[in-house]
């Protein structure tokens, strides 16, 4: 495989695919993902030992899952032991899994129509003429300045 496809473009594609692949327990099966990454890494670097390749792949798992695998396996560990440890950790714990999205309460409340939101306005009367049909700037009644009203007493 290396002698047939080992040109620069092939090497670039293999490096990109190895770097971009991040393990997700919901999408990927552990065995196929791990072996695919091992094949890519061993094709790129045929002189690397299995323990170094396994450590490179282990870094692709992420924080908590990587730490749990390192605690479970002792350093010179075989590929089979790593795969078994990963599957065991994923099935027994929530490490490496994402939480389900819970809908917000605001989405569960029925929507109020726009008409229901508006409070009814009280009738505003124009203070000079007492009419509710027009605004103050469009009042047709003439205002009397300095008008004094006389109240008759009986």
Question: 123 CB contacts (<8 Å, ≥6 apart)?
Answer: 132
HSE-CB for 106 with a 13 A CA cutoff: 0
pLDDT at 127 exceeding the cut of 60: no
Segment 62-76 shows an average pLDDT of 80
Q: How many CB atoms lie within 10 A of CB 77?
A: 19
Segment 78-97 shows an average pLDDT of 81
Phi, psi at 139, each rounded to 5°: -70, 135
pLDDT at 115 exceeding the cut of 70: no
Specify whether the CB–CB gap between 45 and 6 falls below 8 A: no
Cα R_g (the chain), whole angstroms: 38
More confident site: 48 or 119: 48
At 139-152, the pLDDT tens digits run 777 666 666 677 77
Whole-number pLDDT of residue 34: 84
For tokens 């989405």, what's the residue? Answer: 107
Q: How many CB atoms lie within 10 A of CB 135?
A: 9
At 23-60, the pLDDT tens digits run 777 777 888 888 888 888 888 888 888 888 888 888 88
Tokens, residue 62: 């992420």
Alpha helices in the chain (DSSP H): 2-5, 8-20, 30-44, 50-58, 63-72, 79-92, 105-108, 114-117
């Amino acid at each position: 495989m290396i002698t047939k496809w080992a040109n620069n473009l092939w090497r670039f594609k293999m490096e990109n695919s190895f770097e971009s692949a991040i393990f997700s327990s919901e999408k990927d099966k552990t065995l196929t993902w791990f072996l695919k990454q091992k094949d890519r890494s061993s094709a790129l670097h045929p002189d690397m030992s299995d323990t170094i390749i396994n450590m490179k792949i282990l870094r692709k798992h992420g924080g908590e899952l990587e730490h749990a695998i390192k605690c479970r396996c002792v350093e010179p560990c075989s590929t089979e032991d790593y795969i078994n440890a990963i599957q065991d950790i994923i099935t027994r714990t929530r490490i490496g899994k994402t939480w389900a999205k819970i809908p917000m309460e605001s989405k569960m409340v029925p929507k109020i129509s726009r008409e229901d939101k508006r409070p009814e306005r009280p009738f505003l009367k124009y203070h000079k003429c007492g009419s509710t049909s027009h605004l103050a700037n469009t009042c047709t009644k003439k205002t009397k300045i300095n008008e004094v009203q006389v109240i008759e007493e009986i």
